[in-house]
Structure 1
Amino acid sequence: MLIKAKKFSVLMSIYFRESPVNFRQSLESIVNQTLVPNEIVLIKDGLLTESLEEVLNEYILNFPNLFKIISLPVNKGLGNALSIGVKECSYELVARMDTDDICVLNRFEKQVEFFNNNPNIDLVGTNVEEFNVEPGDLKRFRKMPESGEPLLKYSKFRNPVNHPTVMFRIAKVLEAGNYNGEILLFEDFSLFIRMLQKGASFHNIQENLLHFRTGLGIDVIKRRSGLFYVKNEWKFALLSLKIGNLNFFEWLFYVSTKLPLRLLPSKVILFVYNQFLRH
C-alpha cells in the first residue's frame, strides 16, 4: 500500500567512543530504507576520532543535502545533545536512531504510515530484536505494550517504549519540555513520562523493526547498576512522584524494590532481567 508523502527527520547523537564499524552499519540501514528520511540531524557530542570523521564524511559526500551536522566543542551528554538536536529538526515528525543499531528495511515506512492513519497518536515505537555481533545471533526480543491502559500502567515502573525505535511529533516533545540532561541515564524515560502526563498518546507497533545492539548483556547491566545509577534513579523516582506518574505508595514500592536491585552483582541482575523482565 502506498503511503501519503510525509517528510521527517532522523535525530542521532554520536561521541568519540562509538565504533566506526557500528556507525557505518547504522547509517547504511538508514539510507537504504524503503522510505528515506528528508534529513539526518547528527549531533557531534564533542570531538570525534579520525576514523569516525572518515565514515561521516564519506556519507556526507555520497548523500549531499541529507545531513545537518551540529558540532558541540565538548561532550554535553546524550540528553543535552538530543535537546539541541530536536530544535534543529526541520519537520513535524522526528525518528530517533542510535549510532550502533540497525533499522529493519521498512521501519520508517511502517511508522510514517501509522502516523498517516492515526492522526491522534503522538509517538510511535516498535519492538526490537537484541543482538551481539550480527542480527539474529541472540534470538532475544524486547516487546513493549501496544497502547492504552497497559502502556500507561507499564510506564510507572519501566520505560514504555524502546527509545531508539521512536518516531514522534516534535511539538509534543517540546510541549513536555524536550530532552534534558538533568537526570543522567534517564534522559529518555523522564521525557516520556512527562509527555504522557501532558496527555500525549503513545503506540508501539507489534513488530521488531530495529536490531538493538546489546552485546551479551553484561555491559548493559553494568551501566544500569552501581551507586551512580542508583543516585540518578532516585532523582528519576522523585520526578515521577512529583509529576503524578506515581502515587506515594507506587513510589515507595519503586524505590524499595528497584534501587536495592541495582546494588547487586551484575551477573545476578542480568539473571533476574533475563528470567523475569525480558519478554
Structure 2
Amino acid sequence: MENRTELQPYSVLMSVYSGENPEFFAQSLESLYIQTYPADEIVVVCDGELNEQLDVVLEQYSEKFGGKMKIHRLESHGGTAKCANTGLAICKNEYIMKMDSDDICLENRAEKQMIYLAQHPEVSILGSYIQEFDSDTGNDIAVRRPPTENEAIRKFAKRRAPFNNQTLVYKKSLAQSIGGYCEELERCEDYDFMVRMLIGGAIAANIPEVLVRYRVTAGNLNRRRNWRNTKSFIAVRKKIRKMGFSGFMDFLIPCASQIILFIVPGFVTGFIYKKLLRK
C-alpha cells in the first residue's frame, strides 16, 4: 500500500442507541472491519440501554476486532452531542474518524483519507463525497458533493453544512480546544461543530470521491421536514450569525428554504431533496 508506513494511526468514533436497526449496525461495523488500512481503536458510545439484538452485534464485533473495540455505555439517553463528547475524550489518537451506525464505508475509505492527511498535514478536518442510496431497494439516489478546497468550504459553510458528517476525520486537539460538540443543541450539532472548527482555525478539505454510502429512509425525509428539526435548523444558523461567521442573508435564505420544506407536502419535499438540492 502506498506510503503505508508513514500513515498516522486513527480512532473510529461512533454512537448507537436502542432504536437502531441491528442489521444496519452490523453492516456498518463490518465495513470498518474490512478496511484496507484498519483502525487501531474503535470507540462505540451506547446512548443509554440497548436492546438485546444490538448487544449481540456489539459482542460479535468486539470479538472480531480482537480487543480494539472500546464500548462505553451512558446510564441514560444523552443525545448525539453528549455521545460525541464522551467518545472524543476516550479516543487515544490525534486523528478521529466519525462513523454513523447505519452507514457503510467503502473498504478504502480510511486508506484514502489517511494518505491525504499524511500528504497534507496542515489539514485538520477532512471529508469526502457520499453516495446516498435507498435503504429498501439498495438503489443509488444521488451523490452529495460538497466543495473540496478550504476557501470554498468556508464560503459554503455560511449557509449549509460544508462536509458530509459521516465522512469526517478531524484532529482531536483542535476539536477539544473549541469545546467539542455543543450539548445544548437539540439537533444540527454537527453543522455547529463544523463551523466552530473553521472559526477555530481549521484548514479544511474534502476528497472529491465517494468514500461512504449513506442510507436514506422515509424517516430521513420526515426528520428534515418536522417542526422540531426546523426550529433547530433556525436556532443553529442564528447562533452561527451571532458568532460573526455569517451575514443576515446567509441566515435568511436557508431558513426561509427550510420553512418552505416544512410547509409543503411530504412528496414535494422528497422530490426537491432528491431531484433539485443534489444537483
For normalisation by structure 2, the TM-score amounts to: 0.94
Deviates more, 1:231-240 or 1:11-20: 231-240
Letter in 2 for 1:251: F
Structure-2 change in CA distance of 1:260 and 1:132 (3 Å): closer
Q: Is 1:274 the counterpart of 2:271 in the alignment?
A: no
Shift of 1:135: 8.9
Distance in 2 of aligned mates of 1:77 and 1:152: 27
Match of 1:202 in 2: 204
- % identical aligned pairs: 32
- The within-5 A match list for 1:133-212 is 133=135, 137-212=139-214
Structure 2 gap segments, 5+ residues each: none
Match of 1:19 in 2: 21
Deviates more, 1:247-256 or 1:159-168: 247-256
Structure 1 gap segments, 5+ residues each: none
Check the 8 A contact 1:226/1:263 in 2, yes or no: no
Match of 2:254 in 1: 254
Letter in 1 for 2:3: L
Match of 2:3 in 1: 2
Distance in 2 of aligned mates of 1:95 and 1:24: 18
Letter in 2 for 1:112: M
Match of 2:224 in 1: 224
Distance in 1 of aligned mates of 2:240 and 2:262: 18
Superposition RMSD in Å: 1.6
Distance in 2 of aligned mates of 1:256 and 1:5: 44
Distance in 1 of aligned mates of 2:119 and 2:9: 15
3-state SS of the aligned residue for 2:11?
strand
Structure-2 change in CA distance of 1:213 and 1:249 (3 Å): closer
3-state SS of the aligned residue for 1:121?
coil
Q: Is 1:75 the counterpart of 2:77 in the alignment?
A: yes
Shift of 1:11: 0.1
Structure-2 change in CA distance of 1:60 and 1:133 (3 Å): same
Check the 8 A contact 1:45/1:72 in 2, yes or no: yes
3-state SS of the aligned residue for 1:47?
coil
Distance in 2 of aligned mates of 1:147 and 1:140: 21
Structure-2 change in CA distance of 1:133 and 1:260 (3 Å): closer
Shift of 1:23: 0.9
Letter in 2 for 1:255: C
Deviates more, 1:94-103 or 1:128-137: 128-137
- Of the three residues 104, 107, 110, the one matched with 2:109 is 107
Match of 1:60 in 2: 62
- The within-5 A match list for 1:226-241 is 226-241=226-241
Distance in 2 of aligned mates of 1:259 and 1:172: 34
Check the 8 A contact 2:142/2:274 in 1, yes or no: no
3-state SS of the aligned residue for 1:43?
strand
Distance in 1 of aligned mates of 2:249 and 2:145: 27
Shift of 1:254: 3.5
- Of the three residues 35, 38, 51, the one matched with 2:37 is 35
Distance in 1 of aligned mates of 2:265 and 2:29: 35
Shift of 1:108: 0.3
3-state SS of the aligned residue for 1:262?
helix
Shift of 1:133: 3.5
Shift of 1:136: 5.9
Structure-2 change in CA distance of 1:49 and 1:271 (3 Å): same
Distance in 2 of aligned mates of 1:63 and 1:275: 40
Check the 8 A contact 2:7/2:115 in 1, yes or no: no
Shift of 1:90: 0.2
Check the 8 A contact 1:185/1:232 in 2, yes or no: yes
Letter in 2 for 1:76: G
